[in-house]
Amino acid sequence: MEEELVMTEEKINPMQRVKIGKVVVNIAVGESGEKLEKAVKVLESLTGQKPLRRKAKRTIREFGIRKGENIACVVTLRGNKAKEFLRRALVAVGNRIKARSFDPYGNISFGIREHIDIPGTKYDPNIGIFGMDVCISLERPGYRVMRRRIKKSRIDKKHRVTAIEAMEYMKREFGVEIVEE
């Protein structure tokens, strides 16, 4: 019985294995200044990387936002840092993700209402509480073909990660429960 399992594991094409391409964590504050600086501190403490600030694309008078003003901060995680952060972020949402959070191309997005829900995070009254968006991109080996500089090419439809494969990967690797609504 065990020999059969080993045989099937070996037969899986290594180019068909799904892996995490990147995890993008975003905190949108909506204004520059002290509040944005606090969000940057929170994101840096959670991820261990220096966040980039994002600018407003257009002016919205009702919200007091001017074009070109810094209103958000974002961090992109790859490799082991991405997996480690993802494990903690999934605990914050109770290891449950809605089925509609998966798109047809192997991307997953979910939100965390309060950053203090993430294990290992302490509440600091000077900083406050921030919510964040977590976006995960799943890919297979060979996706480099569409990002390289020389001889760029498209990825075939058969080689893309589907929503069902993404769900199976999240269940297998992180023990996530998929919630239907």
Residue linked to tokens 């995070």: 121
The Cα 135–Cα 45 span in angstroms is: 18
**63 DSSP assignment:** G
| CA angle, residues 125, 131, 135, in degrees to nearest 5 | 145
What pLDDT score was predicted for residue 99? Answer: 93
Dihedral over Cα of 90, 92, 96, 101: its sign: negative
Residue linked to tokens 């798109």: 103
Above 80 in pLDDT, residue 3?
no
The Cα 17–Cα 180 span in angstroms is: 25
What pLDDT score was predicted for residue 98? Answer: 94
Give 65's pLDDT tier (boundaries 50, 70, 90): confident
Nearest to 129 by CA among 12, 27, 25, 26: 27
Tell me the per-residue pLDDT of 127-141, one tens digit each, with 9 for 90 and over.
889 999 999 999 999
The CATH H-level (homologous superfamily) assignment of domain 16-179 is Ribosomal protein L5 (3.30.1440.10)
Least confident of 9-13, 145-149, 153-157, 162-166: 9-13
Q: What is the mean pLDDT of residues 87-107?
A: 93
Please give the share of the chain, as a percent, with pLDDT higher than 90. 61
Going from N- to C-terminal start, the domains of the chain cover 16-179
Give 95's pLDDT tier (boundaries 50, 70, 90): very high
Q: Give long-range contacts, CB 8 A cutoff, 24+ apart: 44-48.
A: 44/75, 45/121, 46/85, 46/115, 46/118, 46/121, 47/75, 47/77, 47/81, 47/85, 48/81
Tell me the per-residue pLDDT of 5-62, one tens digit each, with 9 for 90 and over.
444 556 788 888 999 999 999 999 888 889 999 999 999 999 999 999 988 888 888 8
